[in-house]
C-alpha cells in the first residue's frame, strides 16, 4: 500500500519509472486507463473552485519552453515539470518530456514521484475526450487528426473509448508520421484512413483535432475548411507565438477554455482581443452553462493543458499503484529520528 508516512517515519517516496508506467498501463489496458482518466479529470472539473489556480510558471527561450504547473485542492499538492522543444525532434529527442510529484499539504512530505511524459499524453487525450463528450454533436463517428506525432494515437484511442469514434482520418506534413500513426493504430479496431491533405482529412469529420509541433503562428485550418456542426480540439497551440487556426474560425466558433488567464497567453485566443468571449469548460461540466445548444454550432476547445488535469492524473496513478510492485521506494527526503538533529544524522553516516 502507498500509505503516507507519518512525520516520524522513514520517508521513502514511491517512484514510478517509465518502464513501470508502461507496465501499469498495459496491466490495466490503455483504453480502460483513458476512460477512467477522463472520468477522473471530469470529477475534478466538477470541483474546480476548490483548487489553487495560476498560469504555469514558464521560462521561454528561442529553443522552447520549460514550465512548472502547480496546484492544490487544500489536502494534496501537485506539480508537473514539463518542457516543449519543437527542435528536439530533428535530433531524435522528444518534443515534450515531463515528471510530476504529489505531496501532502498537512506535512509537506512527497507521496509520489513519477514520469509524466507518457502520463501527459494519456491525460491530454483524456481531457480532449472529456471536452468532446460535452461539446461535440451526439453520434459523431469520424475524427480528423491533423498532426500525427507523439500524441496522435493516444487522441484516437481516447475518442474511440470514450465517444465511440470508429473512423480516424490522418494527415501530417510528414508522410512518415502519418504512416507511423496508421501502423500503430492498425490493430486498434478503428477504420484508419491516411490522407494527403488537411482538406481531405476533415471530409466527413464531426471532430477535428489539431496537434502540431512547430513553434510559430501557423494556419493548419482555414475558415473555409470548417463546416457547420464541427467540434474542434485545438491542442497544439500551447505557448506564446504558437497557434494552429486562422483567426476567422474563432469569429465563427463558440470557444471553450480551461483557465482564461493562461489560455489568453498561450492558446488560439492569443490572436484575439482581450475581450474576446470564452466559456470556461468547468462551467459546462457542472451544468452552469450550455455547451452545444444546436447542431449547426461550431465549438472549439482551445486546450493548452492545465495543472488540475495533471493533478487528476497523478492522483489516479497513485491509487492504481496500490497493491502492485510497479514502483520503487526512493530515499530522497532527509528524515532524522530527531527532527532537530539533522547534523547528527549526517555525522552517523561516516
Catalytic residues: 238
User: What is the radius of gyration, based on Cα positions, of the chain?
Assistant: 21
What letter would DSSP give residue 231? Answer: E
For residue 172, the SS3 value is: coil
Instruction: Note whether 301 and 89 are within 8 A (CB).
Output: no
* Sequence-distant (≥ 6) Cβ neighbours of residue 122 within 8 angstroms: 25, 30, 33, 34, 37, 154, 313
The pairing of strands 207-210 and 142-146 is parallel
Residue 263 grid cell: 489560455
Angle at the Cα of 216 (from 304 to 115), degrees rounded to 5? 45
245: closest CA among 133, 254, 236, 262?
236
User: DSSP letter at 95?
Assistant: S
Burial of 194 (0-12, 13-18, 19+ CB in 10 A): middle
Written as nine digits, the cell of 183 is 501502423
Taking every pair of C-alpha atoms in the chain, what is the biggest distance, in angstroms? Answer: 73
Contact 34, 126 (CB under 8 A): yes
Q: What span, in angstroms and rounded, lies between the C-alpha atoms of 124 and 128?
A: 6
Amino acid at each position: 500500500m502507498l500509505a503516507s508516512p507519518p512525520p516520524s517515519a522513514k520517508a521513502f517516496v514511491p517512484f514510478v519509472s517509465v518502464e513501470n508506467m508502461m507496465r501499469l498501463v498495459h496491466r490495466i489496458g490503455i483504453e480502460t486507463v483513458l476512460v477512467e482518466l477522463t472520468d477522473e479529470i471530469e470529477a475534478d472539473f466538477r470541483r474546480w473552485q476548490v483548487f489553487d489556480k495560476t498560469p504555469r510558471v514558464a521560462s521561454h527561450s528561442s529553443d522552447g519552453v520549460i514550465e512548472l504547473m502547480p496546484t492544490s485542492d487544500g489536502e494534496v499538492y501537485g506539480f508537473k515539470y514539463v518542457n516543449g522543444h519543437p527542435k528536439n525532434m530533428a535530433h531524435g529527442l522528444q518534443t515534450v518530456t515531463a515528471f510530476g510529484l504529489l505531496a501532502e499539504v498537512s506535512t509537506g512530505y512527497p507521496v509520489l514521484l513519477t514520469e509524466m511524459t507518457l502520463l501527459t499524453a494519456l491525460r491530454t487525450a483524456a481531457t480532449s475526450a472529456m471536452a468532446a463528450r460535452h461539446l461535440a454533436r451526439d453520434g459523431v463517428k469520424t475524427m480528423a487528426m491533423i498532426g500525427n506525432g507523439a500524441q496522435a494515437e493516444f487522441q484516437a484511442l481516447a475518442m474511440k473509448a470514450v465517444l465511440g469514434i470508429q473512423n480516424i482520418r490522418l494527415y501530417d506534413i510528414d508522410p512518415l508520421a502519418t504512416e507511423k500513426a496508421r501502423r500503430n493504430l492498425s490493430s486498434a479496431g478503428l477504420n484508419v484512413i491516411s490522407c494527403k491533405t488537411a482538406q481531405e482529412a476533415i471530409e466527413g469529420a464531426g471532430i477535428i483535432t489539431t496537434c502540431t509541433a512547430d513553434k510559430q503562428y501557423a494556419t493548419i485550418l482555414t475558415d473555409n475548411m470548417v463546416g457547420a456542426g464541427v467540434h474542434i480540439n485545438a491542442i497544439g497551440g500551447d505557448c506564446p507565438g504558437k497557434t494552429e487556426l486562422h483567426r476567422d474560425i474563432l469569429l465563427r466558433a463558440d470557444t471553450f477554455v480551461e483557465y482564461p488567464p493562461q489560455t489568453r497567453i498561450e492558446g488560439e485566443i492569443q490572436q484575439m482581443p482581450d475581450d474576446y468571449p470564452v466559456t470556461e469548460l468547468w462551467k459546462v461540466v457542472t451544468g452552469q452553462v450550455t455547451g452545444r445548444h444546436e447542431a449547426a454550432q461550431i465549438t472549439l476547445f482551445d486546450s493548452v493543458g492545465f495543472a488540475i488535469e495533471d493533478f487528476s492524473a497523478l492522483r489516479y496513478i497513485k491509487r492504481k499503484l496500490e497493491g502492485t510492485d510497479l514502483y520503487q521506494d526512493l530515499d530522497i527526503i532527509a528524515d532524522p529520528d530527531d527532527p532537530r538533529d539533522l547534523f547528527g544524522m549526517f555525522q552517523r553516516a561516516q
